[in-house]
């Protein structure tokens, strides 16, 4: 099943899904199924060793963690979750989570290969995450900041009603406390299992941003690998500052879909952060080790 979830995530991210059947079988699997629990094979590489998917450099987890999950050799930014981002950005890793009680609900009774409610229950039983976005308030070099961060691990970081509602409440919270707002995006796009409700979250979140804008509070949108679909077609691209991590894949349509549509190979670096910066859609690219300091500078510039 975890294979299926991974394939599904890969698909959301527009990557080619590789199924067991397509691999040549020199060795036969004796036992059926893969029994590794998702909790044991998170997005964040766990265990003692980590391998860079780009340069194959192998280092210890401790070393990778010290480098904020950036490959010490070629600077590849490993995908990390909200917990890691909060650790990196907030002073002493101290923060308070907000609106953690809101959970997804299978309102439509949506069933594809698996009922949506079953999909949700499976993930809840395997991770501590309640949904694909967590909201937290904390300090960055002493300055207040509310951060809403996505977890790709939870149905591909997909945008559903819960993300929309958390986003809206986070904005209300910011307006009440006069705090700036930051969103860290990492998502395949809208959550299809919530059908048109997920689409309407694009409008709902944009409406919230309109209120934040009237309150003259800064909104920073940090795009990380990968950010697609509904996110880039709404709040992802609406930041007072749109910034990104190096090498992140960011776009509206997934590369696979574009390739099928235009029937041509895509140029190297297409839809990477550097490509977006070049075409004028990002204010700057910031490597993870410099993220906190740069953010702190920006926040103080807005304030003073």
Partner 1 sequence: MPSNANRQFLDFEKPIKDLIEEIEITKARQDKHHLDLGEQINILEQKILDKRTELTSQLSSWQRVQLSRHPDRPYTMKYIQKMTTQFVELFGDRNVKDDKAMVGGFANLDGETVMIIGQQKGINTKMRQLRNFGMANPEGYRKALRLMKLAEKFNKPIITLIDTPGAFPGLEAEERGQGEAIARNIYEMMRLTVPVICVIIGEGASGGALGIGVGDRVFMMENSWYTVISPENCSTILWRSWAQKEIAAEQLKLTGDKMLGFGLIDGIIPEPAGGAHWDYDESARILKEHLVPVIRQLREIPAQERITQRIEKFSKMGFWDEVPA
Among 113, 176, 263, 268, binds partner 1 (CB under 8 A): 113
Q: How far is the CB of 242 from partner 1 (least distance, A)?
A: 8
The number of residues that bind partner 1 (CB under 8 A) is: 66
Residue 105, interface with partner 1 (CB under 8 A)?
Answer: yes
Would you call 300 helix, strand, or coil by DSSP? helix
The two three-digit tokens of residue 72, written as one number: 């010490």
Q: Which residue has the tokens 């590849």?
A: 76
Q: How far is the CB of 275 from partner 1 (least distance, A)?
A: 8
Residue 173, interface with partner 1 (CB under 8 A)?
Answer: no
Residue 229, interface with partner 1 (CB under 8 A)?
Answer: yes
Which CB atom, from 45 or from 255, has the smaller least distance to partner 1? 255
The two three-digit tokens of residue 10, written as one number: 């890969």
The conformation of residue 52, written as its DSSP 8-state character, comes to -
Which CB atom, from 76 or from 281, has the smaller least distance to partner 1? 281
The conformation of residue 16, written as its DSSP 8-state character, comes to P
Q: How far is the CB of 60 from partner 1 (least distance, A)?
A: 34
Report whether 61 contacts 47 (CB < 8 A).
Answer: yes
Half-sphere exposure of 73 (CA within 13 A, CB side): 11
- Backbone φ and ψ for 226, nearest 5 degrees, come out as -100, 155
d(CA 229, CA 11): 12
Residue 190, interface with partner 1 (CB under 8 A)?
Answer: yes
Please report, in angstroms and rounded to a whole number, the separation of the first and last CA atoms in the chain. 52
Which CB atom, from 70 or from 249, has the smaller least distance to partner 1? 249
Which CB atom, from 43 or from 194, has the smaller least distance to partner 1? 194
Report whether 226 contacts 186 (CB < 8 A).
Answer: yes
Stretch that binds partner 1, among 22-30, 86-94, 160-168, 173-181 (CB under 8 A): 160-168
**Cβ neighbours around 243 below 10 Å, total:** 22
Task: State which H helix or E strand residue 201 sits in.
Answer: helix 195-214
Residues 17-76 close enough to bind partner 1 by CB under 8 A: 17
Which CB atom, from 69 or from 116, has the smaller least distance to partner 1? 116
Residue 11, interface with partner 1 (CB under 8 A)?
Answer: yes
Q: Which residues bind partner 1 (CB under 8 A)?
A: 8, 11-12, 17, 100-105, 107-108, 110-113, 160-162, 164-165, 168, 190, 192-204, 206-211, 229-230, 232-238, 251-253, 257-258, 261-262, 264, 266-267, 270-271, 279-281
């Amino acid at each position: 099943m975890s294979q299926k979830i991974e394939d599904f995530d890969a698909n959301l991210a527009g990557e080619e899904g590789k199924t067991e059947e397509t691999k040549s079988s020199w060795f036969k699997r004796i036992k059926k199924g893969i029994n590794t629990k998702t909790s044991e094979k998170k997005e964040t590489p766990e265990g003692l060793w980590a391998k860079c998917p780009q340069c194959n450099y192998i280092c210890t987890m401790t070393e990778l963690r010290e480098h904020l999950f950036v490959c010490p050799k070629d600077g590849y930014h490993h995908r990390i979750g909200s917990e890691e981002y909060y650790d990196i950005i907030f002073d002493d890793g101290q923060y308070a989570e907000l609106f953690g009680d809101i959970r997804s609900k299978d309102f439509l009774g949506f069933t594809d290969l698996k009922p949506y409610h079953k999909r949700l229950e499976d993930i809840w039983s395997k991770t501590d995450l309640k949904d694909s976005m967590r909201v937290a308030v904390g300090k960055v070099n002493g300055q207040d900041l509310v951060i809403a961060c996505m977890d790709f691990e939870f149905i591909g970081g997909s945008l559903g009603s819960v993300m929309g509602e958390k986003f809206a409440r986070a904005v209300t919270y910011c307006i009440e406390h006069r705090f700036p707002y930051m969103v860290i995006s990492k998502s395949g796009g809208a959550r299809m299992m919530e059908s048109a409700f997920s689409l309407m979250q694009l409008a709902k979140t944009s409406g919230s941003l309109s209120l934040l804008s009237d309150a003259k509070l800064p909104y920073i949108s940090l795009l990380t690998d990968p950010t697609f679909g509904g996110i880039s077609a709404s709040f992802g691209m609406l930041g007072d500052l749109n910034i990104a991590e190096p090498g992140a894949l960011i776009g509206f349509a997934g590369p696979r879909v574009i390739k099928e549509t235009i029937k041509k190979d895509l140029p190297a670096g297409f839809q990477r952060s550097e490509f977006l910066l070049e075409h004028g859609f990002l204010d700057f690219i910031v490597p993870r080790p410099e993220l906190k300091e740069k953010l702190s500078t920006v926040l103080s510039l807005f304030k003073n």
